[in-house]
Amino acid sequence: MNTKRVHVIGAGLAGTEAAMAAARQGVRVVLYEMRPRKMTPAHRSGKFAELVCSNSLGGEQPANAKGLLQAEMRRAGSVVMCAADTARVPAGGALAVDRERFADQVTALIEAEPLIEVRREEVTELPPDGIVVLATGPLTSDALANALRQIIPAEHFLAYYDAAAPVVLGETINYSIVFRGGRFEQPDDYLNCPLTAEDYKRLHEAILQARKHVPHEWEHLEYFEGCMPIEELARRGYLTLRFGPLRPVGLRDPRTGQEPFAVVQLRQEDLAGRLWSLVGFQTGLKWPDQKTIVRTIPGLEQAEIVRYGVMHRNTYLNAPALLDATLRMRHQARLFVAGVLCGVEGYLESAATGWLAGLNAARVAQGREPVVPPEVSMLGGLVRFLATARPENFQPMNANWGLVPAVPGRKKDKRARRASMYYRGVTAFEQWLRSIGWTPAHVADTAANAAAVEAAVLKADPDAQ
Ligand SMILES: Cc1cc2nc3c(=O)[nH]c(=O)nc-3n(C[C@H](O)[C@H](O)[C@H](O)COP(=O)(O)OP(=O)(O)OC[C@H]3O[C@@H](n4cnc5c(N)ncnc54)[C@H](O)[C@@H]3O)c2cc1C
């Protein structure tokens, strides 16, 4: 056999998916992970695919762009989606997971795969031969980053600040103030801390007065607009938080029967409901100041913080300058890049690009051509964007409807239009999988999903077929 091995560096969301996709093509894989020997500033364990902040993989509805990417990943037999389905916790229309159980499940699935050899070591140089998938994420170790700088021009190594939100212990929440409820038609899976105008003023002042924890060397970096820390939002204007993560719309406090002035939402983190994270409350403030701020929120006066928010540097590559839509480096044919490092933002997007990079790395190892999913699929739209965006001002990208072409000739409402795009994307992706000889791993799931999707679409838009 002349098939080369695939080396996957990093066993996060992208790397685990890449390793499994390559192994399922019958290719031997070496998967390198430096944790727990060498930790990153954000990870806490040696488990694979550890979620470092929010425990949500995004909305599941057909009207949601992440929902389409989830559906595609299910059809691809994604290890991350499989683990997410077993570790699911209630979160309204979102797919949220018990993070411990999720990481345990991914780790177990990878370790049980005979074609994957796991090496617990930091990679400081690129492997001298074989096909390589780089999936070392936003916190790529310095030694490897330095090695990459030998082959990637410095101007294509980009970075921004990102931040994680605090998590509080459920038993320390005051349930006589905090009420259950989701916005509009969502189920009541969230806890809501109602703020009066006075409470909001106090909270805003406390945030402005708090001390930042920002290492000196990061001071020139930009924030990422999609994950803005609360201190930056508060600094931008008095009502910015109220129109952002603290918006009260669609929520009614049962004690007053009124919509509060602002609301801090809590999302369940674990199956037992013992841990709750503050939604959209990512912060890099000093820990004692975080405690003060959290305790000014009505219902959280006695809250115990079990994980504080952290700020971190987020490294990524200038994808349009370096990669093609198969996620291969244009001038380094044996190198593929996936996850945050290839310029996507988000757990699901990282996993999805990992799957494609792993699939293509295996194909190249077998002497076949790499492939690109159809442009009407969310993954196809995402990787086309990475390859063709303007390199001068490249910013990481999430799954969103702007990445896929509109459905021609439809003048229905937005939900129906999106449902049609969802249905079209799922169908095209499934056909494409078959055309490249990929057999979905979760056939029963996909059949059930397809039926549910079709019913939802036809209900929303009877002309969809
Ligand atoms: C603090 C923080 C908060 C975040 N919050 C969110 C959020 O709420 N929602 C969201 O969707 N995304 C969030 N992100 C982004 C998140 O990191 C990605 O969505 C996702 O984890 C990226 O997947 P990845 O596989 O690219 O990287 P990771 O999941 O980070 O995996 C990379 C892996 O590579 C390993 N590694 C690094 N260097 C080496 C080396 N030299 N040798 C061997 N192994 C190495 C690391 O230990 C790690 O396990 C956050 C990131 C951070 C750091």
State in Å: Cα 248 to ligand 1 middle.
Answer: 31
Q: The domain that contains 279 carries what CATH number?
A: 2.40.30.260
Which of 276, 309, 342 is the last residue before a domain boundary? 309
Which pLDDT belongs to residue 454? Answer: 52
Which tokens hold the place of 254? Answer: 């049962």
State in Å: Cα 244 to ligand 1 middle.
Answer: 25
Pairing of strands 131-134, 332-337: parallel
Residue located nearest, by CA, to atom 12 of ligand 1:
346
Domain of residue 96 covers 6-162+314-460
Residue type, 77: G
Which tokens hold the place of 313? Answer: 């540097």
Which pLDDT belongs to residue 97? Answer: 94
State in Å: Cα 415 to ligand 1 middle.
Answer: 32
Asked whether 120 lines ligand 1 (CB < 6 A), one says no
Number of separate domains in the chain: 2
How do the pLDDT tens digits run along the chain, 465 residues long? Answer: 456 899 999 999 999 999 999 999 999 999 999 999 999 888 889 999 999 878 899 888 877 899 999 999 999 999 999 999 999 998 888 899 999 999 999 999 999 999 999 999 999 999 999 999 999 999 999 999 999 999 998 888 887 777 788 989 888 999 999 999 988 766 688 999 999 999 999 999 999 999 986 655 555 556 666 678 899 999 999 999 999 999 999 999 999 999 999 999 999 877 778 889 999 999 989 999 999 999 999 999 999 888 888 877 788 999 999 999 999 999 999 999 999 999 998 999 999 999 999 999 999 999 999 999 999 999 999 999 999 988 887 878 889 888 888 887 654 577 778 888 888 999 899 999 999 999 865 544 443 454 555 555 556 555 544
Which of 263, 293, 309 is the last residue before a domain boundary? 309
Helix (H, G, I), strand (E, B) or coil at 189: coil
256 and 204 in a single domain? The answer is yes
State in Å: Cα 339 to ligand 1 middle.
Answer: 8
Asked whether 162 lines ligand 1 (CB < 6 A), one says yes
State in Å: Cα 52 to ligand 1 middle.
Answer: 7
Asked whether 103 lines ligand 1 (CB < 6 A), one says no
Residue 39 is assigned to a structural domain of this protein: yes
Q: Compute the distance between CA of residue 148 and CA of residue 166 in angstroms, rounded to an integer.
A: 33
Which pLDDT belongs to residue 155? Answer: 86
131 and 146 in a single domain? The answer is yes
Which pLDDT belongs to residue 335? Answer: 97
Phi and psi based region of residue 55 (left: phi greater than 0; alpha: psi -120 to 50; beta: remaining)? alpha
Cβ(168)–Cβ(304) below 8 Å: yes
Which pLDDT belongs to residue 460? Answer: 55
Asked whether 365 lines ligand 1 (CB < 6 A), one says no
Cβ(283)–Cβ(294) below 8 Å: no
- Helix orientation angle between 414-435 and 378-388, rounded to the nearest 10 degrees: 90
Which pLDDT belongs to residue 445? Answer: 42
State in Å: Cα 11 to ligand 1 middle.
Answer: 9
Q: Compute the distance between CA of residue 196 and CA of residue 339 in angstroms, rounded to an integer.
A: 41
Which of 309, 334, 366 is the last residue before a domain boundary? 309
Q: Compute the distance between CA of residue 259 and CA of residue 230 in angstroms, rounded to an integer.
A: 22
Residue 465 is assigned to a structural domain of this protein: no
196 and 343 in a single domain? The answer is no
Q: Compute the distance between CA of residue 431 and CA of residue 147 in angstroms, rounded to an integer.
A: 40
pTM higher than 0.85: no
State in Å: Cα 201 to ligand 1 middle.
Answer: 35
Cβ(349)–Cβ(147) below 8 Å: no
342 and 422 in a single domain? The answer is yes
- Helix orientation angle between 287-295 and 197-209, rounded to the nearest 10 degrees: 170
Asked whether 102 lines ligand 1 (CB < 6 A), one says no
Which ranges of 152-229 does DSSP label H, i.e. alpha helix?
197-209
To test the ligand 1 pocket, which listed residue (7, 17, 34, 120) has its Cβ within 8 A of the most ligand atoms? 34
